[in-house]
Structure 1
Amino acid sequence: MRADRLVAALLFLQTRQRVTAAELAAELDVSERTARRDLEALASAGIPVYSQAGQGGGWSLVGGARTDLTGLTAPEIRALFLLTGPDTGASPQTRTALRKLVRALPPPLREGAEAAARAGVSDGTDWAGTETVEEARLGPLQRAVVEAREVRIGHARPGREARERTVQPLGIAMKAGVRYLVADTEDGLRTFRIDRVTSVAETGAPAVRPDGFDLPTAWRALAARMEVRMVAATVRGRAAPGTEPVLEAVIGGRIRYGERARDGWTPFEADGPSPEVIAARLAGLGARVELLDPPEARAALTRIGAELTELYGESGGPAPAPPATPEAPPRAPASTGTRHG
């Protein structure tokens, strides 16, 4: 913390011709005595800082000396403030650091940085106006990572009860807009989707960081393992005309199309964790998609259809008839030609 304060004090001096210990204390949120000691420490470290007593006195950099502590270019500064500016949900500490940084920038760069800081906004609530689970858990997890604090988290996978476990938080990773906690557990390195974390509580113990741990290297290995699980199964089917955009929204990029048939239906192959998972994702498309194989996928849709019929079919009269679809052509393997969505 002392080193951070000394850097902040030097940046503050660079933006003023002369400052008093009281002004620096207010800027750094410390006592005037602490601010004076920090100024004296800068001078003793060889920084050209001197004090002038009397009315109108204060502390100054000799000859308006400046120290380039950032080395940032104008595009880099704009990118930084776009990502972490005051209106993008940044923490109070981040906003304080950015305020100090912008004051240290030369005037030609300062205007662009301030404009970039005003160019973004972050809304941490969902459309019902409530704070999202991810936003509520992100702050405590970030603090645990930075301060190396062991935590006990609750984590719930879809369709399962939350499970609590003690973890050593090592980093936060983001992939395709989803944040993950990277942590060491009794089962080795694991990732936890932050929007599925139900609770966070510090245990009071320090986190143990594996020797030689490197977050980018660890994330690449973990992500590769997840990718393998995400494409463990493939289903074949066909989609009614105009269904492709919805199909791609449900499945994502793991879909391959064949040549469109004369009746307008398009054969496809889709990858996922299992045939049952893929079938469940496609069930909402009703008769606009027909799965051809494997049998496990068709059986899963049959089971889902029976459950829905039992639930809704007799509650208010007969179940509504499915939309009319073209007669299915003889089943044939999807064309080897692909068309990526």
Structure 2
Amino acid sequence: MTASQVAAELEVSPATARRDLEALSMAGIPVYARPGRGGGWALVGGARTDLTGMSAGEVWALSRILGTAALNDSETRVPTMKFLQALPSSLRDEAERLMASVHDDRVAWGKSADVVTSVLSRLCDVVARRRIVTASYKSRNAERSVKRLLPLGLVNKAGVWYLVADGEHGVRTYRVSRLEDIVVTDEGFDPPSDFDVATYWSTQAEVIERKRSGIAAVLRVHSSIVPALRHQFGRYVSLIEEGDVSIVEVRAHMLVGLAERLAGWGDRIDVLSPPCLRSELARIGSELVAHYSSPRR
């Protein structure tokens, strides 16, 4: 092809096409210029595209992200093997070894994995094709409703999948395991031009975290207990005063739930505030004493 033909195909100027072709040739890509009448730019005979332009670091990063899931899943195994075969021979064996050695288990300890594979596959398809769907959705309180959704993206949060979709009440998040009777329509849609699923999720996650930490309590504990409280409450614990006896703040969504989580510590913690939490802990203690002090019938 002449540089002018390349320029027309790629909708750039002939000067830009010629400059880029020369840069490709200098970078080692097997293209060369043949001068004179009937000349132009050509690929070396038998040359084909592969992934030779990728650095070793880029190959390792992709292999790590794909991991064992890509090799073991029936839907991704074939394209993953094609990816490996397209790599330069100097990188192929190491990439496959790394991929087979990195296993990503996204289910938290003590949690069960949601069985959403088939539904997830359909949702990936409609997200890619931008197709409107209707589905039955079961809310947390078990109420069902039929939704007409414009799927915008999918999010995996610690092994739990969520669908981000536009609908009657604007953009919302739906737990995939609660979606049933999904019907894909022939209607297409254009997503909002400024929508970005990562940005949306980051904002929503921060809102949810604030809701989950509306109740605060100040505790006096021995310093040896602080690491365990950090493990139990995660981001919802902060150290106020550090010493042999430390002052910490812990947060939770509800007063009752916070009391239940602290009750197991017995007298190893001392709740300084709020008073209502002390009362709730006393109630739980009295209830347990009343229940277990009498012989079992």
Distance in 2, matches of 1:125 and 1:236, equals 31
Q: Is structure 2 residue 192 aligned with structure 1 residue 211? A: yes
Q: 1:152 aligns with which of 136, 141, 159?
A: 136
CA distance in 1 between partners of 2:94 and 2:289 (Å): 60
CA distance in 1, matches of 2:237, 2:108: 29
Equivalent position to 1:254, from 236, 243, 247: 236
Q: Give the superposition deviation at 1:124.
A: 8.3
8 Å contact from structure 1 (residues 88, 121) kept in 2 = no
Q: What SS does the corresponding residue of 2:265 show, helix, strand or coil? A: helix
Match of residue 18 from structure 2: none
Number of the residue aligned with 2:279: 299
| Offset at residue 245 of structure 1 (A) | 2.2
RMSD of aligned residue pairs (Cα, Å): 3.5
Equivalent residue number for residue 7 of structure 2 = none
One-letter amino acid matched to 2:192: D
Letter matched to residue 265 of structure 2: L
Map of 1:279 onto structure 2 = 259
Give the SS at the match of 1:133: coil
Mapping 1:1-341, distance limit 5 Å: 63-68=45-50, 71-87=53-69, 91-121=73-103, 132-134=112-114, 136-147=115-126, 148=131, 150=133, 151-156=135-140, 161-165=141-145, 166=147, 167-175=149-157, 179-192=161-174, 197-198=177-178, 200-205=180-185, 210-212=191-193, 213-260=195-242, 264-316=244-296
Distance across 2 between alignment mates of 1:207 and 1:90: 33
Query: 1:200 is paired with a residue of what secondary structure?
Result: strand
CA distance in 2: counterparts of 1:303 and 1:70, whole angstroms: 69
Would you say the 8 A contact 1:89–1:121 is kept in 2? Answer: no
> Quick check: 1:141–1:200 contact (8 Å CA) kept in 2?
no
Contact 2:106 2:159 in 1 (8 A): no
Corresponding pairs, count: 246
Q: TM-score, normalised by structure 2?
A: 0.67
Superposed CA deviations along residues 26-70 of structure 1, whole A, max 9, x for unmatched, are xxxxxxxxxxxxxxxxxxxxxxxxxxxxxxxxxxx9722122468
CA contact (8 A) 2:51 2:88 kept: no
1:276: Cα distance to partner? 3.6
5+ residue gaps, structure 1: 1-60, 318-341
Q: C-alpha distance in 2, partners of 1:275/1:127?
A: 25
Is the Cα contact below 8 Å between 1:102 and 1:110 reproduced in 2? Answer: yes
* AA aligned opposite 1:154: K
Aligned to 2:28: none
Partner AA of 2:119 in structure 1: P
